[in-house]
Structure 1
């Protein structure tokens, strides 16, 4: 069983009881994060494809840690002009531990109204209608 979801603008493959690295989220370490933008879900032979998202499917995840990735070097150069610029930055990421998939519950049928289910009116309710 796995799913493809959109988290912070990136598409990520989700599997139960696995860790996934996503761009930094504004959630504290140890807090729960609900992933509800599921694009694709596969469970055995059952495949569901959202348009764009699947309704009712959710993954619960716990934030394990925030960290910064290795430095990315950006080097610019124009030949024969003596122009060279070397810059870099470190991207912020969050590690999520995926718990389980939450499927929507099926709607239950309401009981039919019968004489046995209807409550008797109390004298107080009848007095309110009379205006006394």
Structure 2
């Protein structure tokens, strides 16, 4: 069984026992979280689509930790002007283990 769930404005296709790197959420390590914005639930027989979300469907998970993503280098340059600017950025993520999907 799989589901498409909206977590902090981003959509993820999740299955049970899968790790998801979602945008930074509040909560401590080991805390359980519940996502009720389920857009679609499907399995081998077919899919059930919400309009826009499914009533009563939810995805449960557990926070495994807060991590940072890979560094992204931002480099700006104006040719023939002697202007160069180098900057870096690392996005914060929350690692979530999907424990269950219910309709």
Compute the displacement of 1:102 (Å): 2.5
Higher helix share: 1
- Structure number with higher relative contact order (C-alpha < 8 Å, ≥ 6 residues apart): 2
Higher strand share: 2
Structure 1 residue 36 and structure 2 residue 69: aligned?
A: no
Compute the displacement of 1:62 (Å): 0.4
Aligned to 1:102: 102
Aligned to 1:26: 26
Q: Give the match's secondary structure for 1:59.
A: strand
Structure 1 segments, 4+ long, off by >4 Å, are: none
**Structure 1 residues 26-74: Cα deviation after superposition (integer angstroms, max 9, x where no partner):** 1111011001111111111221111111111001100011111121111
Structure 1: any 5+ residue segments left out of the alignment? 104-132
- The root-mean-square deviation of aligned C-alpha atoms, in Å, is 1.0
Compute the displacement of 1:23 (Å): 0.8
Structure 2: any 5+ residue segments left out of the alignment? none
Structure 1 residue 14 and structure 2 residue 14: aligned?
A: yes
Distance 1:101 1:60 in 2: 7
Rg larger for: 1
Q: TM-score, normalised by structure 2?
A: 0.94
Aligned to 1:121: none
Distance 2:73 2:18 in 1: 30
